[in-house]
Amino acid sequence: MNTGRLGFLSVAALGLLSLTSTSCTVVRQGEVGVKRKLGRYSNNTYTGGLRVYNPFIATIVKVSTQTENLEIQADIPSREGLTIRSDVSILYKVVQKDAPDLLRNIGLDYEETVILPVFRSAIADVSAKYYAKDMHSGNRTEIENSVRELMMKYLKDKGILIESVLLKSIQLPRSLANAIEEKLEAEQQAQRMEFVLQRERQDAERKRISAEGTRDANQIISEGLTEKILQFKAIEAWLSLSQSQNTKVVISNGTVPMMMNPLEQK
């Protein structure tokens, strides 16, 4: 009886020891798990699923391998020495196979330790080559790509992939913003004035062409008029005046008719 009880207690103790010395965790999709045993990270990584480990000597550290959006506010220097405030999004992700080295060399606080300092250095180097107005124009994409490429030179061997650097809601100094607005307004006024001048030139050209047409027509008419034609036209005018009810007397010097009203002479 004592022997049986002793065996039961032994089995129970072993079961209890087994339960207390084993733990598990779930590595989700979009994560990678790295086992740390006695303070050392394993080279092996675990993907999605249930993972068992001994909590007394080991743990599994999980790192996201999904694209992360690190949003910050940055003061960007320009070529002329101005400071531009911008909201920035840094899209990055951890390379799965490099996760053990990332944890060994940098740790879990890699955003503050390497990503942000590298970004601030890269944006200062790149933006110093551009004027402030360029950051508010089509050159923004060029600046973003240059910053990303420069960051990758520092981070490509550290297991971090920079996908994009996005400069958002750039705030220019008030004086520069006013100058840009005034310049744009002046350009718009110049375009409107050019339109008015173009319209006036077209109107002047139209009038010139009309005047030339009138001149040519008069020249043709004057060249076609002869003495006989003028006499014939005078006769037609006399006949027309003689048939008018308002005409009483027609006097002529032989070439030009003149109408007189006898009632007015009285």
Per-residue pLDDT of 196-221, as tens digits, reads 788 888 888 888 888 877 777 777 76
- Measured over the CA atoms of residue 83, residue 85, residue 86 and residue 88, the dihedral's sign is positive
**d(Cα 84, Cα 71) in Å, to the nearest integer?**
17
User: Residue 123: its pLDDT value, please?
Assistant: 92
pLDDT of 255 strictly over 60: no
In the three-class reduction of DSSP (H, G, I as helix; E, B as strand; rest coil), residue 249 is classed as strand
pLDDT band at 195 (very low <50, low <70, confident <90, very high): confident
Q: What is the pLDDT of residues 109-160, one digit of tens each?
A: 999 999 999 999 999 999 889 888 777 777 888 999 999 999 999 998 899 9
Q: State the angle between helix axes of 116-127 and 140-155 in degrees (0 to 180), rounded to the nearest 10.
A: 140
User: Residue 77: its pLDDT value, please?
Assistant: 86
Of 110, 119, 126, 13, nearest in space to 77 by CA:
126
Q: What is the pLDDT of residues 42-97, one digit of tens each?
A: 888 888 777 777 777 888 889 999 999 999 998 888 888 888 888 999 999 999 99
User: Residue 189: its pLDDT value, please?
Assistant: 74
In the three-class reduction of DSSP (H, G, I as helix; E, B as strand; rest coil), residue 8 is classed as helix
- Beta bridge partners, 33, equal 46, 62
| C-alpha pair distances (Å), 172 with each of 79, 193, 223, 254 | 13, 29, 73, 89
- Alpha-carbon dihedral angle through residues 61, 62, 63, 65, given to the nearest 10 degrees: 150
- Beta bridge partners, 45, equal 34
User: Residue 82: its pLDDT value, please?
Assistant: 81
List alpha helices for the chain, DSSP H: 2-20, 99-105, 110, 116-127, 140-155, 174-224, 227-242, 262-265
In the three-class reduction of DSSP (H, G, I as helix; E, B as strand; rest coil), residue 55 is classed as coil
User: Residue 14: its pLDDT value, please?
Assistant: 46
Taking residue 231's Cβ as centre, other Cβ atoms within 10 Å add up to 12
The structure tokens listed for 140 are: 């923004």
User: Residue 226: its pLDDT value, please?
Assistant: 67
User: Residue 171: its pLDDT value, please?
Assistant: 77
pLDDT band at 238 (very low <50, low <70, confident <90, very high): low
